[in-house]
Amino acid sequence: MFKKHTTALVLGLLAGTSLSATAAPNSDWFTDAAISPDGDTVLVAYKGDIYSVSSKGGTAVPLTVNAAWDGHPVWSRDGKQIAFASDRNGNLDIYVMPAEGGEAKRLTFHSANDIPHDFTPDGKAVTFSSTRTDSAASSGFPRRALSELYSVPTSGGTPKMELTTPAFEAQWNKDGSKLLYREEKALESDLRKHDVSAFARDIWMYDSEAGTHTQLTSFVGGDHNPLWGKGDAIFYTSEEADSTFNVWKRDLKSGEQNQITKFTKHPVRELTRAKDGTLAFLHHGTVYTSGERGKPKALDININVDGHGVDTETMSVSRAGSEFTVSPNGKEIAFVARGEVFVTSTEFKTTKRITSTPTQERSVDFHPDGDRLVYAAERDGKWKLVEAKIRNEDEKYFFASTLIDEKVLFDADNEAFQPKYSPDGKRVAFLSGRDILKVLDIESGEAVQVLGPEHNYSYADGDITFDWSPDSKWLTIDFIARKRIFITNVAIVPADGTKAPVDISLSGYQDGGPKWHAGGEAVLWFSSRYGQRDHGSWGREFDVMASFLNQDAYDRFRLSKEEYQLMKELEEDAKKKKEEEEKKAKEAEAAEGDKAEGEKASDKDADKKEEKKDDTKPVEIEWGGMQDRTVRLTVHSSNLADAVLTKDADKLYYLSQFEGGYDLWMQDLREHETKLLSKLNADNATIELSKDEKTLFVLAGGQIMKFELNGGGAAKKGVSLSASMELDGKAERDYFFEHIWRQVKDKFYTADLHGVDWADMKLEYSAKLENIGNNRDFARMMEEMLGELNASHTGAYYIGGNGGDDTASLGLLFDLSAPEGPLLVEEVLEKGPFDKAKSDVEAGMKLVAVDGTELGDGVNLYALLNHKAGDRTRVTFEKADGTRFDEVIKPISGGAESQLMYERWVKKSRALVESLSDGKVGYVHVRGMNDASYREVYSDLMGRNFDKDSVVVDTRWNGGGWLHNDLAKLLSGEQYLKMEVRGREFEGDPLDQWYKPSIVVMGEGNYSDAHAFPYTYKALEIGDTVGMPVPGTMTAVWWEVLHSGDIVFGIPQVGQRDMEGNYLENQQLEPDHKVKNLPEDVAKGVDKQLEKAVEVMLEAKED
């Protein structure tokens, strides 16, 4: 492949000191630009490989060419080595190689992502950021998003901790005494633009000798990418002038600053500097060089390589099903995998790929005759309804067919998806514009509206569920009743759209996922009415409910097993008698012989059709008394995925999650027996019952399986399908771009998209697609584009790279300030592997060896712990007197270590508050805005803290959810009575609310609903707040995972307004008592914010 990158257009100079430039859209998309110390060479990253090119431009020389992603290159001070990050082992690790090319040496072995920033001044180590474990002394919150700073020797070994506090884009000065870095203090994308809130990063300087940190910039917007200049000068990028990241220069002594570049559109990224002052950077994917006084010049860079030689990839998707449906005869299964439609045999391995597009298809459904499929397809910039049919009449099954014909059933201005054939095969119900239920007449092509947008809001595609009645005259659907968004009820509505929906659940609880009973006698749905009440976004338990549509159906359901069997025998006898009478009548009619042979054949066909119509009984609905005929079918509430009820309404098959993943259960409604049929342990699952009810089909964790039903049991049998596809990565990314752009355009919470010209952004960024060669770079580019919106809850992120390293933990905190040999144990984590009565390990000892390999020069501890979680491991320690001993333990996972670190942090914070207040003030931390966190807070508040005079409610680094109202109610109690028994006084109401003083601790790391809670706390005047400002992020988001499975992007869809009509998004909340925890205080274990909170509470008590 030969690629020539186009020079960006330079429009003009201003006094020779700076440049005002606007780059015309071009296809350049380099992801790094690191200039060599001598200024002669620039390292660029392109399509996941690293190249070397002259700083004047020209043909680039590849330094790394492999299937892995390589990036983030940095130079050693002498220009002889380069370090970079690579995902060759799943996650990003640090590698080092000669600057002229050659073999790359791996330096880090931790399963965290490691990002290199600089070499140490002596060139003997690479300084990088990684999220591992804070130091034992730190008071910092142990969140995985908050990295530490390390240096790893180029010769190998355990990394040294430089800083326990986050420090990104770190740059050492010449003698290593000072370090410039970008502060990380919040949970927002670093590519967000135009933001002027507490999110915005600042430039800081660390004095390694004094151990102090100094804030160098204080602009309310973003300051990034610091570099050392000559003398007291530094360079960095900032949005200070016109809300666009440009290069700035600042004199640290005088404070004087000058803007070097003056781009007015798109940010400057990846700024680097040579010793002679030459700057290199990226602007909208193009590499530039510039002098310190301006005059940027775009480089013409030729990439003249063959690439990796693979334009398409054959991949198996046999275990990647996302949805399925069974043919009416039970012999075929249509399913969707990675956005494509397939059909497989239920008995054989034969599988046919129906669609072959880089776009997405979904919501596949069989026609009642089994000869057609309908599905939604996102093509030509919108969702359409498409029907597929076997072309050749001599081919009976899709799975054994050769040619498939497609035709568009419905294509309108609005999106159209989630099609479902009516049981008579004449119509298709579907969602139009996401919120409107319509029915399409297949023959005429006309569509009628059945349920308007005033009745529904689709938060995430596929979250509105509807189903046909067996007689094709009605639809049941979950809908928003009484404008209670997110709280749906279940309705029945006529399929011709002539009448308004009738709410049959009439519940204040969450009701949804309705299905019409196969016999037409009932509607099933899921209800949270009886389950454990959730206090937040997650944790709600459901039951399967059924509303019987008439009294006769309800009476039949209530029969005992004996009564039901007797009734069935009588019905069978009556049916046989009727069939015999009909047979005699037909024989008599045939004997008359008064019709021609052809006419007889025609009449027989007509009879068959008539008989088919007669088999479908009209659904009888008695609207009165529906609530009295609504029953709970499950006997235990749980997290449910799907359910199906047999025609006789005697058995309910359902997928429930009690422990682990979803499993298959059966409820015998006449025997009153609950039985676990199969342990599936699936993250997601759906089920479908065959028409003859002899087979149950299950899609669990992407794999299709079937169960042969035998009364009260089920025999599991696999479905041996073989599905593969040719993946064109570039075409798929082109589709992803269009899909993301359209989704944001259609679903962003304000129609004006914060004033951004979204069509222009499409033009600017779509031009870059041809030079993106992998999904990691694509996600980063989309994050850059979405960052233009200046909104929370957005961005695109690469979530692939699974199957790599898995670093285990010993449950010990080490002194990593000098990790060249044995490591000093500073703390044994409570509940960790060594926190045992029989363990002799304690702080002050040294870790000497793991499984016989001694720590020393070139030995990396984390390499010894890779994939060791749960395995018996021999660990050697050395006591202060030099004696050694071994202990055999099972290391824990990184996730388990994180949980222990969190519990440790809470205990330390609680102990600090206890100590400062002499036991008068309590402490609780709200980890997330969810049910589990609420229960923990409630337990602590009404348990250990009930007798305290007041309480500190710590919400720092809470990532959100939906809990603000529950928390506010919990903390806003007002005592109005006491209880007394024969002179003994007891606490009275409210027994379930805190009615004493409280104070909320908050900070820049509060996000989403963790912004809404302190806002609510202040709006209701419950108490004071202390800490740092909380950026305005109160929107509800849908994080959509693309069908490749390795990219997720966010769309803030639902805004929250205060009572004056102002959006809370981008409305920052200021604390009553502003206190910042400085990095050096955090490193020493000091928490000024908690100290201030206790001080305020004690003063309030005195008042």
Q: Tell me which H or E stretch contains 1079.
A: helix 1079-1083
Who contacts 31 (Cβ-Cβ below 8 Å, separation ≥6)? 45, 46, 71, 270, 282, 777, 780
Determine the longest span between alpha carbons in the chain, in angstroms.
Answer: 116
Altogether, the residues listed in the chain come to a count of 1103
Whether the link from the prior residue into 453 is cis, omega within 30° of 0, is no
Q: Which of 415, 497, 417, 488 is nearest to 455 (CA)?
A: 488
Is residue 708 annotated as a catalytic residue, yes or no? no
Are the CB atoms for 82 and 97 separated by under 8 Å?
A: yes
Q: Is the dihedral of CA 430, 436, 437, 439 positive or negative?
A: negative
Is residue 777 within 8 Å of 793, Cβ to Cβ?
Answer: no
Nearest to 10 by CA among 263, 210, 341: 263
- Residue-wise DSSP of 900-947: HHHHHHHHHHHHHHHHHHTT-EEEEE--SBSHHHHHHHHHHHHTTTTT
Please give the Cα distance from 647 to 521 (Å, whole number).
9
Helices marked H in 656-728 = none
| DSSP category for residue 732 | H
* 3-class SS letters over 335-398: EEECCEEEEEECCCCCEEECCCCCCCEEEEEECCCCCEEEEEEEECCEEEEEEEEECCCCCCCC
Amino acid code (one letter) for 135: S
Alpha-carbon torsion (236, 240, 244, 248), positive or negative: negative
Question: Active site residue: 793, 964, 1011, 1043, which one?
Answer: 793
Please tell me what DSSP assigns to residue 1012: H
Secondary structure of residue 1002 in the 3-state scheme: strand
With H, G, I as helix, E, B as strand and everything else as coil, classify residue 779: helix
Residue type, 793: H
Catalytic residue (one of 162, 239, 340, 1065): 1065
Measure the CA–CA gap between 127 and 145, rounded to whole angstroms: 18
Which residues are 543's β-sheet partners? 527
Distances (CA, A) of 94 to 46, 184, 883, 1052, 1056: 18, 21, 36, 35, 43
Query: Catalytic pick from 345, 1008, 1011, 1040?
Result: 1008
Q: Is 769 helix (H, G, I), strand (E, B) or coil?
A: helix
Paired with 448 in beta bridges are 439
Q: CB under 8 Å to 450, separation ≥6 — which residues?
A: 429, 437, 438, 439, 475, 493, 494, 495, 496, 497
**H/E/C letters for each residue in 487-512?**
CEEEEEEECCCCCCCEECCCCCCCEE
The verdict on whether 5 is a catalytic residue reads no
SS3 readout for 648-667:
CCCEEEEEEECCCCEEEEEE
Of 1050, 504, 570, the C-alpha closest to 789 is 1050
Q: Exposure string (b/e) for 134-170, b if CB count within 10 Å is 16 or more?
A: bbbbbbbbbbeebbbbbbbbbebbbbbbbbbbbbbbb
Q: Which residues are within 8 A (CB) of 358 and not within 5 positions of it... i.e. 6 or more apart? A: 728, 731, 732, 734, 735
Q: Is residue 709 within a helix (H) or strand (E), and if so which, with residue range?
A: strand 703-710
Beta carbons within 10 angstroms of residue 394's beta carbon: 7
Distance CA 1075, CA 712 (A): 65
Catalytic (active site) residue 1008: yes
Using DSSP, state whether 128 is helix, strand or coil.
Answer: strand
Active site residues: 793, 1008, 1065
